[in-house]
Chains A and B, each alone.
Chain A
Amino acid sequence: MGPSGSGKSTLLHCLAGILVPDSGEILFDGARVDAMAETERSSLRRDRFGFVFQFGQLVPELTAVENVALPLLLSGVRRTRALSKAGAWFERLGLDGLEQRRSGELSGGQAQRVALARGLVAEPQVLFADEPTGALDSLTGEQVMDLLVSAAREQGTTVILVTHEPRIAAYADREVMVRDGRVNAPDRIAS
């Protein structure tokens, strides 16, 4: 966490293999992410990472359930199986009956829950979330966080979340402060 412009999102993008850092090393599962070729990083992102952004960023031409199935389809899972796996998330996240809606027909909270399902559907090892509640009101934001934490704990996904809101950070087990592009007290682990 940290104020706007402190470098939180840049750090997240480096950790997730989207950006390559100017200096330093990014290690994931013993491998140097920063030293990988773009194709290698791309398959890492597709197969082992999940993503949720501030404004859901659902594909507007696709239905909600197709949006959730997207990561599975991209990794070569058959369409029927991908859609049925994606469909299972709707009840879990309180989205029953919204499977066929397009993103324009969803409220902010609904769209963000769909985005959350899309981030978790492929059971990634790490979910990267950049201000996932930033565009939501407090109550809706907390509901999304509650679902995120429960789902991630259930399937053993590590969540790396960027936020400037302390109440959202309080859902995490550990905080890393970023200020003026520098990480502050990175090793402080929650008791």
Chain B
Amino acid sequence: MSVPLTLLGLLEREPSHGYDLKRDYDAFFGRGKPLPFGQVYSTLSRLARDGKVVISDVAPGSGPDRKRYIITDVGATEVEQWLTQPVEPEPHLQTVLFAKVVLALMLDRPAGEYLDTQRSAHLRRMRELTEVKRAGSLVDALLADHGLYHLEADLRWIEMTGARLDALRKEVRP
């Protein structure tokens, strides 16, 4: 999650105070990991320094939330590019799981049991996410689904690997 780009995107809706941005970020993107105020303001300062936002007006009084931020053309172009360009697909070719299985085989440890334990942990997490999905809003459900599909992909890999441990053992312990 790119915090600067997300804040810029939120600013493209309308000029906002730092507080509004934090509130909306936490509601839609924070999910149990709220954005600290300090990070909101340091990010906005950097965006202002780089000419992606400007400060529109400063209300009288003290404290950091007197300022209202407006996105600039440079900022809007950056948001546009970010949204239209695909995210780099990450194949996760060298996962921790892979390393553990290969090392377990090299060290003559019970790789199959490690995979079983991992499968249980994955399924447990999937049950938790399924409960979140059933109890929550559509936003919660879609976020939970993203997690569920990734965990499911891991599980498929675990099944495939589990079925080929003997062959893999021969290859890594010649």
Contact = CB atoms under 8 A, between A and B. Distances in A.
Interface of A: 3, 146, 149, 165-167, 169-173, 175, 177, 184-185, 188, 190-191
Given A167-B148, A170-B126, A170-B148, A3 B159 contact: yes
B124 A190 contact: yes
Given A166-B122, A167-B152, A190 B127 contact: yes
Interface in B138-174: 148-149, 151-152, 155-156, 159, 163
A94 B126 CA distance: 27
> Main SS of the interface on chain B?
helix
A170 B116 contact: no
Interface residues of B, number: 19
A166 B151 contact: yes
A92 B7 CA distance: 42
Nearest to B149: A167
B132 to A, nearest CB: 11
Given A146-B134, A170-B127, A171-B130, 19 more contacts: A3-B163, A149-B134, A166-B126, A166-B152, A166-B156, A167-B152, A169-B123, A169-B126, A170-B126, A170-B148, A171-B127, A175-B120, A175-B123, A177-B116, A177-B119, A185-B116, A185-B120, A190-B127, A191-B124
A184 B116 contact: yes
Given A3-B159, A185-B116, A166 B123 contact: yes
Interface of B: 116, 119-120, 122-124, 126-127, 129-130, 134, 148-149, 151-152, 155-156, 159, 163
Nearest to B154: A166
**Chain A to chain B: the 3 pairs with minimum beta-carbon distance, closest first:** A170-B126, A170-B130, A166-B155
Contacts of A167: 126, 130, 148-149, 152
Contact of B123 (A3, A149, A170, A184): A170
A56 B156 CA distance: 27
Contacts of B123: 166, 169-170, 175
B77 to A, nearest CB: 36
Contacts of A149: 134
Contacts of A191: 124
B127 A172 contact: yes
A188 B123 CA distance: 12
Nearest to A168: B130
A172 to B, nearest CB: 7
A146 B134 CA distance: 7
Nearest to B119: A177
A170 B128 CA distance: 8
A188 B124 CA distance: 11
A136 B122 CA distance: 24
Contacts of A3: 159, 163
Contacts of B155: 166
Contacts of A165: 152
Nearest to A184: B116
A177 B112 CA distance: 14
Contacts of A172: 127
18 contacts: A146-B134, A166-B123, A167-B148, A167-B149, A167-B152, A169-B123, A169-B126, A170-B127, A170-B130, A170-B148, A171-B127, A171-B130, A172-B127, A175-B120, A177-B116, A185-B116, A188-B120, A191-B124
